């Protein structure tokens, strides 16, 4: 990647595009309301500042031409992030224990644990302890699995 289009510059451009799009979405709304009482009055000020500050940051990054350090374990990080996003999405659908056990096992594996007994033990014990603590001791029910009726 050419130095001028490094990760920092691309991130700033993305932030600028988001801010401009959000600002444009406020145009034309509530023309009949006095400016200061419009629901978009305050967000417009904030978005204006966002755009201005992103431009300053962009100029700084272009002048500095300083690239961000490479991600040491890109594949592992990407896999873990994807797993975490899946996990937080599934935790209320599949239940806490059912979704946490495979996530914990995968997480430990990505972090470099290779002992299968440790992975298995942790993946069962930690979510299990949390379920017992919250469901039975504190009386704060965790998301239940749709398969609970089988037991």
Partner 1 sequence: MLASLPDAIALLLTAEALLTLVLGTTLGIILGAIPGIGSTVAVAMVLPFTLSMGQAPAIILLLAVYAGSVYGGSISAILINTPGTPQSAATCLDGFPMAQRGEAGKALGWATIASVIGGLVSAVVLLAAAPQLAALALNFGPIETFSLILLGLTCIVSVSTGSMAKGLLAGVIGIFLSSVGGDPVIGEPRFTFGNWQLISGFNLLAVVIGIFALSEVFIRVSERPKVVSELTAFRGIVLPRWAEWTGRRKGLAKSVVIGNLVGVLPGTGAATAAFISYAEGKRSSPNGAKFGKGEPDGLISSEAANNAVTGGALVPTMARGIPGDAITAVMLATLTLHGITPGFRLMEDNPTLVAAIFAGFFIINLLLLPLGLLLSRIAAPILRMREAYMMTGVVLLCALGVYFVRGNPFDLMVMGFAGVLGFVLRRQGIPMAPLVIGMVLGPTLELTLRQGLILTRGNFLEFFSGHPIALGFGLLTLLALSLPLARGILGRLRDARAG
Q: Return residues touching partner 1 (CB under 8 A).
A: 7-8, 11-12, 15, 22, 25, 34, 36-37, 39-43, 46-47, 49-50, 53-54, 56-57, 60, 68, 71-74, 76-77, 80-81, 84-85, 87-89, 91-93, 96, 100, 103-104, 107-108, 110-113, 122, 126-127, 130, 134, 138-140, 142-143
List the structure tokens of 150: 């089988």
| Three-state DSSP state, 91 | helix
Taking the complex as a whole, the smallest distance from the CB of residue 86 to partner 1 amounts, in Å, to 9
- Give 35 or 147: the residue with its C-beta nearer to partner 1: 35
Terminus-to-terminus CA distance in the chain, angstroms? 55
Residue 130: Cβ-neighbour burial (10 angstroms; 0-12, 13-18, 19+): middle
């Amino acid at each position: 990647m050419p130095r001028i289009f490094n990760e920092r510059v691309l991130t700033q451009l993305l932030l600028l595009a988001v801010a401009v799009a959000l600002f444009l979405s406020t145009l034309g709304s509530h023309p009949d309301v006095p400016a200061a009482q419009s629901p978009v009055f305050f967000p417009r000020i904030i978005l204006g500042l966002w755009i201005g500050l992103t431009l300053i940051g962009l100029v700084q990054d272009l002048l500095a031409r300083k690239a961000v350090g490479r991600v040491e374990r890109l594949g592992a990080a990407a896999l873990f992030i994807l797993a975490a996003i899946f996990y937080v999405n599934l935790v209320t659908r599949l239940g806490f224990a059912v979704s946490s056990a495979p996530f914990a096992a995968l997480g430990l594996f990505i972090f470099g644990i290779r002992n299968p007994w440790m992975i298995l033990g942790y993946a069962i014990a930690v979510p299990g302890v949390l379920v017992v603590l919250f469901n039975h001791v504190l009386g704060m029910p965790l998301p239940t699995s749709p398969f609970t009726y089988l037991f």
